[in-house]
Amino acid sequence: MNRILALIERDLRKLMRSPTLIVVSMIMPLIQLVVLGYAFGGKIHDLRVGVVNQDHGMPTVKLREMCGAIAANARTFETTDYTDLQRALKDLRDGRINGVLNFPPDYSRRVLAKDAPQVALIEDNTDNFAVGALEGGFGDIVGAYNQGGAAPRVSSGVTLSVVELYPYVPYIQYLLAGSIVMAIFVSAMIGGGIIYIDDKARGLHEGYLVTPISRLELILGFNLSGAIKAVLAGIILTTVGSVIAGIPNPLDPIRLLKLMVVIVLTSLALISMMFLLMVRVNDPLVPRATFGVLNTLLYFPSGAVYPIYGFPPWMRAIARVDPMTYAVHAFKALLLKNTSITAISGDLAFLAIFTLVTTVAETALFKRSL
Amino acid sequence: MKPIMTPQEPTPALEVEHLRKCFGNFCAVDDVNFSVAHGEVFGLLGPNGAGKSTLIRVLTTLLPPTSGVARILGFDVVRDADEVRKSIGVIPQAMTSDLDLSAMENMQIFAKLYSVPRERRIKVAHELLEAVDLLAWADKPVKNFSGGMRRRLEIARGLVHEPRIFFLDEPTTGLDPASRVGVWEMLMRLKKERELTILLTTHYMDEADKLCDRIAIVDHGKLVALDSPLKLKASIPGNNILEVGFSRIPEGWLQTMQSLPDVLDVKAEDHVFRIGSDNGPNTTVALMEAVHRAQIAVTSLSVQSTSLDDVFMHYTGRQLRDSLQDAAPVLFPGMGQR
């Protein structure tokens, strides 16, 4: 045990002298949280729509007014009148506007005759997000227009009543779980990958190997010291990130305690995975070269930035064996829903078993000689 | 070569029998036999790539041998690896002190790795840092140390568990001349105070000559000669070596050189002759007369006492200093690069 503690002591003393590891492992996830959180989290507004009115009848005026109301309030889009459809389409192709609303010449006649009147929304469908917002906005306008005057007191049709269990979750809060896992991963990557191989290349491990320390003591020493550093990064990002993302009651001690369990298990799982990947590596370039690949391969399929339900089957298969998936799920459950520990027991069990399996594998593969 | 047993001690500190370490078809250590007596300073002298470091890595349990036996204090380096590790101190070729930690922290971490009891490790660390003149620097970070200071710290660190046998792999490589002398003096003092048996590798002839009781000359993985520095020097012909270069080589010049007074041995390479002589001054005078008669010019001339380089030349057919320059940086799988 003393030998394991000696390895941990050495690593923590180094960390205190040069806390670069913690700072570096936090900077990237924090930047990601803030930039991605706000980049994807906001509602789309201020789109520009050209309106070509070839009809000029009364029904077009009503729809035109409803568009004006949206431009004034929700500001999803603002309208510009065009007299020439061709010119409006040219501006759409050149990117000056995001869509064209065209009232055909017989629009009013068809409205009055109740003969399937149509108004065209011509979109630049290279931007799915803008298209979605425009279709949503105009769909609502057309729906309201079709209802005509005041709604009946008792609806005869079926309506869907949506009940939300939790307060509105902005995207930055949705992303926080992934950012915490990313901070732990970066710390594990640097502590368990880069520093480990650098020490090996500098001959520091040769110094350890000539002492009577056992293979298991070496593995446990490296894993635990790496995990402690990853836990520190996880704790800092959980608290700072919760404040930045606006998680309600971020310092709730019971939730922090439950989060601590997830942080520790995630750190152990990721550091043992990293040591397993690097256990036979001697070239300091390898962990640096694999960092980007591993990050992409583990982070994005984990459901940190987009729900797993939207993935193709092969990506779901990666997600099923990816420890980040279970960590992200557990963090989301605690941060966004403040669930009980039982609700995430499956995630915790996976992380614990994953740690055990990778530790056994790395102990078997670790060479107690040069 | 048969193991050389030194009298007085029933069991040698270190025994090596038919030791071989191969990487594929290449044998870095090839059928090596020797033994080291208690309290002896034993040197492995040879150029880079000769197999010295591989041999020391096998003896310190860092590499398993391909065949043969090596015992430290009677413990087999394969079967009793843990007992061997407890008995030895090792200073690798690379400087491996942690730069971010202080000298005392480096000592304490290693004392813990060797399970030295708490009260003992503090006392020993102080004693050793004092012995290597680093006590005043005990709490300073190692990154501020010079190369010589770091090497001294590593020597102290290697002794923190009070081993009986001390392995040093090229302990003064990369140090300036003053630091080298400082390390030599410190090693000799520690050896005397702590009754250490030392095995060191070096490619510095003066280091081997000054420190070692016995020297094994290593070339291409084999021990080509083994004895005390004095006896090794006495084992080659002549007390002096004349190294002389000529503007041209007349016909029959080799025979002329061999017929000079007191000459025992002549080796020629291009226009340079190495002449082993029992009486350097006498042979030199006769050489000058022969040059005058042959009407050729002497382009270079040196007369030296026999050195270990001459010994190396005698046994390997080339000079150690040339071998150091020629040594190809060939690495084989598992040999480990620094």
What pLDDT, in 10s, does the model give residues A129-187? 888 888 888 888 888 888 765 556 666 667 676 777 788 888 888 889 999 999 899 88
Rounded Cα distance, A337 and A331, in Å:
10
Identify the band that residue B335 occupies on the pLDDT scale cut at 50, 70 and 90: very low
CB atoms within 10 A of CB A288: 14
pLDDT at B328: 41
- In this prediction the ipTM stands at 0.77
- How far is residue B238's CA from residue B182's CA, in Å, rounded to a whole number? 33
Instruction: Tell me the HSE value of B157 on the side-chain side, using a 13 A CA sphere.
Output: 32
Q: How does DSSP classify residue B123?
A: H
Half-sphere exposure of A268 (CA within 13 A, CB side): 19
Among chain A residues, the shortest Cα distance to B163 is held by: A211
For residue A246, how far is the Cα from the chain centroid? Answer: 16
Backbone torsions φ then ψ of B84, nearest 5 degrees: -60, -45
Least confident of A257-261, A335-339, B69-73: A335-339
pLDDT of A358 > 90? The answer is yes
- Give the burial class of B138: count Cβ atoms within 10 A of its Cβ; 0-12 exposed, 13-18 middle, 19 or more buried: middle
Q: Positive or negative CA dihedral for A196, B171, B70, B68?
A: positive
Query: Is any Cβ of chain B less than 8 angstroms from the Cβ of A215?
Result: no
Average pLDDT over residues A21-49: 79
Instruction: Closest CB to A206: pick one of B92, B109, B114.
Output: B92
User: In which band, very low, low, confident or very high, does the pLDDT at A2 lie, cut at 50, 70 and 90?
Assistant: confident
- The tokens for B251 are 């016909």
**Number of CB atoms found within 10 A of residue B87's CB:** 18
Alpha carbons B36 and B17: distance in angstroms, whole number: 12
Query: A190 pLDDT exceeds 50?
Result: yes
* A223 vs A273: CA distance, rounded Å: 10
> How far is residue A201's CA from residue A170's CA, in Å, rounded to a whole number?
46
> Is any Cβ of chain B less than 8 angstroms from the Cβ of A20?
no
Closest CB to B100: pick one of A3, A7, A18.
A18
What whole-number percentage of chain A has pLDDT above 90?
36
Among B62, B82, B338, select the one facing A369 at the smallest CB separation. Answer: B62
pLDDT in tens, B233-245: 878 777 788 889 9
pLDDT at A221: 92
- Are A3 and B115 within 8 A, CB to CB? yes
CA distance B35 to B71: 9
B70, B16 contact by CB (below 8 A) = yes
DSSP label at A167?
Answer: S
Mean pLDDT lowest among A88-92, A133-137, B139-143: A133-137
Q: Which of B86, B93, B101 has its CB closest to that of A14? A: B101
Give the closest-approach CA distance of A225 to chain B in angstroms.
14
How much is the mean pLDDT over chain B? 85
CB < 8 Å to B109, chain A? 6, 9-10
Q: What is the pLDDT of residue B88?
A: 94
Average of per-residue pLDDT across A187-198: 85
pLDDT digits (tens, 9 = 90+) for A228-237: 999 998 998 9
pLDDT of residue B266 exceeding 60, the answer is yes
Mark yes or no for CB contact B60/A210 under 8 Å: yes
- Please tell me which residue, B233 or B294, carries the higher pLDDT value: B294
Note the pLDDT of residue B330. 40
Q: How many CB atoms lie within 10 A of CB B32?
A: 24
Radius of gyration of chain B (CA): 23
Residue contact B113–A206, C-beta within 8 A: no
Tell me the two tokens of residue A98.
């995001």
Distance from CA of A30 to the nearest CA of B (A): 28
Chain A positions in Cβ-Cβ contact with residue B114 (cut-off 8 Å): 211-212
Which pLDDT band holds residue A268 (cuts at 50, 70, 90)? very high
Does residue A37 surpass a pLDDT of 80?
Answer: no
Give yes or no for residue A6 having a pLDDT over 80.
Answer: yes
Whole-prediction pTM value? 0.77
Provide the pLDDT for residue A316: 92
CB atoms within 10 A of CB A341: 15
Residue A353, pLDDT score:
97
> Listing from the earlier edge strand, what are the strands of the sheet with A47-53?
A77-82, A47-53, A99-103, A120-123
Residue B329 pLDDT:
40
CB B87 within 8 A of CB B165: yes
Examine the pLDDT at B327 and tell me if it is beyond 50: no
Chain A residues with CB under 8 Å of B61 CB are 209-210, 369
**Cα B174 to Cα B94: distance, rounded to the nearest angstrom:** 10
Give the number of beta-carbon pairs within 8 Å between A and B: 77
Confidence band, pLDDT 50/70/90 cuts, at residue B317: confident
Find, among A134, A116, A173, the residue nearest to A47 by Cα: A134
Task: Measure CB to CB from residue B94 to each of A6, A202, A212 and give the nearest one.
Answer: A202
- Distance CA(B249)–CA(B272), nearest Å, equals 9
Query: Per this entry, what is the length of chain A?
Result: 370
Token digits of residue B315 = 């046994």
Strands A47-53 and A99-103: parallel
> Does any CB of chain B come closer than 8 Å to the CB of residue A207?
yes
Give the C-alpha separation, B115 to A1, whole Å: 10
Q: What angle do CA B204, B207, B208 make, to 5 degrees?
A: 90
Q: Output the pLDDT for position A157.
A: 62
Summarize the confidence of residues A191-205 as an average pLDDT.
84
Lowest mean pLDDT among A79-83, B32-36, B137-141, B205-209: B205-209
User: Which of A4, A5, A10 is best to mutate for the B interface (most B CBs within 10 A)?
Assistant: A10
What pLDDT score was predicted for residue B223?
A: 92
